[in-house]
Amino acid sequence: MGLWLRRVFRAAAFLLLLAFWAGAANLTGALIVDNPAAAQVEGKPPGSTLGSTSDSDLWRTLRRGFQGKVSFADKQKGVAIQSEGDNWRAVRNGPLSVYGGWLLLATIVILAVFFAVRGRIRVDAGLSGRTIERFNTLERFTHWLTASSFIVLALTGLNVLYGKYVLMPIIGQNAFAALTYWGKLAHNYIAFAFMIGIAMMLVLWVRDNLPSREDVTWVAQGGGMFVKGVHPPARKFNFGQKVIFWIVILGGISITYTGLSLMFFFDLKPFSGTFALLNLLGFDLPTQLTALQESQLTQLWHAVLALIMIVVIIAHIYIGTLGMEGAFDAMYTGQVDENWAHEHHSLWVAEVRLEPQSPAQQRGGGE
């Protein structure tokens, strides 16, 4: 094969190679030889790899919680950044923790001032020495099952919210980590004792906690709490106790449901359902919430409800111990002094003793 011919073939092969190379370089968007790092023009990426999206556009889209397509079953994994998470953290560590802390502090200060001004509410007629059974064994068991589990839940929950600021500086990081770990376990499992407790309370006491006429007199006379010698008539539970009962039951049901939904992450959707119900009343709330959005709203509501219930129970514990003479016996031995019972639950005493009640008593008035 003549020299010329070989030279033609070589040149053709070289040109072919060059064309192939230029074609490949073009595909990759960079002429390797000419320009190793293509400058961005106006933030636009070199070539057309990302189409018209600039890095900052891409970042902004991702930052807003854009949900990309993923082949995983859990489509949530298509969300690179869940920006509501920031809002959740800002609310939890901001207003929720701050106002919750002030609320707890204010409750204790108000009770301390009340105790200082009003003192312990005494049995005005003095203790008679005779007793009457107020709560039987089953009622007291139910109360202390609910009470003890609630107190563990409250303390371990408060630790999750405030432990880092209040406890860790005192006991150190390792001890705090261990305490929080076991506290979390206790929180998850003792919750079931609390659920059983409120269910039993509901069954045992719902009949005695329905609204009744004498509640109006009780409220009008401030429950006899503020002025010595004032004793509005009441049945087994007075209006104040009925409020505590329904906060414990209704708050207990809601805090249980939200707690379970935080434990069984993807299974329960408390807020989509609640918002759908509220929308029937004319609200316009989102009902297609992602599992993450659900859990963030649920966690916030769980914490808000817990803080409200803890405040109410602090007041309840005050009136059930220090605040009122003779009250604690009701839940300790189950026996209360007759004079105590007459001054605080006169209609209940009459019912228990099957004593005839005057028309005034029937109407919810005084003796």
Quick check: 66 and 57 in contact, CB under 8 A?
no
Per-residue string for binding with ligand HEM, 297-326, x by CB under 6 A? ----------------x--xx--xx-----
Per-residue string for binding with ligand HEM, 149-188, x by CB under 6 A? -xx-------------------------------------
CA distance 208 to 189: 30
Q: HSE (CB half, 13 Å, CA atoms) of 329? A: 16
Question: Least distance (Å) from ligand HEM to the CB of residue 188?
Answer: 18
Burial of 138 (0-12, 13-18, 19+ CB in 10 A): exposed
User: Is 145 or 291 the residue whose CB approaches ligand HEM more closely?
Assistant: 145
Quick check: 251 and 361 in contact, CB under 8 A?
no
Asked whether position 244 contacts ligand HEM by CB under 6 A, the answer is: yes
Q: What are phi and psi of 142, to 5 degrees?
A: -60, -45
Asked whether position 123 contacts ligand HEM by CB under 6 A, the answer is: no
> Binders of ligand HEM among 54-113, rule CB under 6 A?
none
Quick check: 156 and 186 in contact, CB under 8 A?
yes
Burial of 54 (0-12, 13-18, 19+ CB in 10 A): middle
User: Is 96 or 202 the residue whose CB approaches ligand HEM more closely?
Assistant: 202
Please list, in sequence order, all residues whose beta carbon lies within 8 angstroms of the beta carbon of residue 362, skipping any fewer than 6 positions away.
none
Quick check: 158 and 202 in contact, CB under 8 A?
no
Name the DSSP class of 80: S
Angle between the N-to-C axes of helices 291-320 and 252-263, in degrees from 0 to 180, rounded to the nearest 10: 140
Stretch that binds ligand HEM, among 9-17, 162-170, 238-246, 261-269 (CB under 6 A): 238-246
Interface residue with ligand HEM, options 45, 88, 134, 337 (CB under 6 A): 134
Asked whether position 330 contacts ligand HEM by CB under 6 A, the answer is: yes
Say how many residues touch ligand HEM, by CB under 6 A: 21
Stretch that binds ligand HEM, among 34-42, 243-251, 260-268, 281-289 (CB under 6 A): 243-251
User: Is 123 or 147 the residue whose CB approaches ligand HEM more closely?
Assistant: 147
Q: What's at 326, amino acid-wise? A: G
Interface residue with ligand HEM, options 176, 237, 239, 275 (CB under 6 A): 237
User: Is 101 or 334 the residue whose CB approaches ligand HEM more closely?
Assistant: 334
Asked whether position 121 contacts ligand HEM by CB under 6 A, the answer is: no
Stretch that binds ligand HEM, among 16-24, 57-65, 241-249, 279-287 (CB under 6 A): 241-249
User: Is 269 or 316 the residue whose CB approaches ligand HEM more closely?
Assistant: 316
Q: What's at 149, amino acid-wise? A: S
User: Is 121 or 147 the residue whose CB approaches ligand HEM more closely?
Assistant: 147
Q: What DSSP element (H or E) covers 358?
A: none
> What's the token pair of residue 9?
């073939």
Asked whether position 246 contacts ligand HEM by CB under 6 A, the answer is: no
CA distance 307 to 297: 15
Stretch that binds ligand HEM, among 2-10, 177-185, 237-245, 253-261 (CB under 6 A): 237-245
Asked whether position 328 contacts ligand HEM by CB under 6 A, the answer is: yes
CB atoms within 10 A of CB 198: 23
Quick check: 293 and 85 in contact, CB under 8 A?
no
Binding site for ligand HEM (CB under 6 A): 134, 143, 146-147, 150-151, 201, 237, 241, 244-245, 248, 313, 316-317, 320-321, 327-328, 330-331
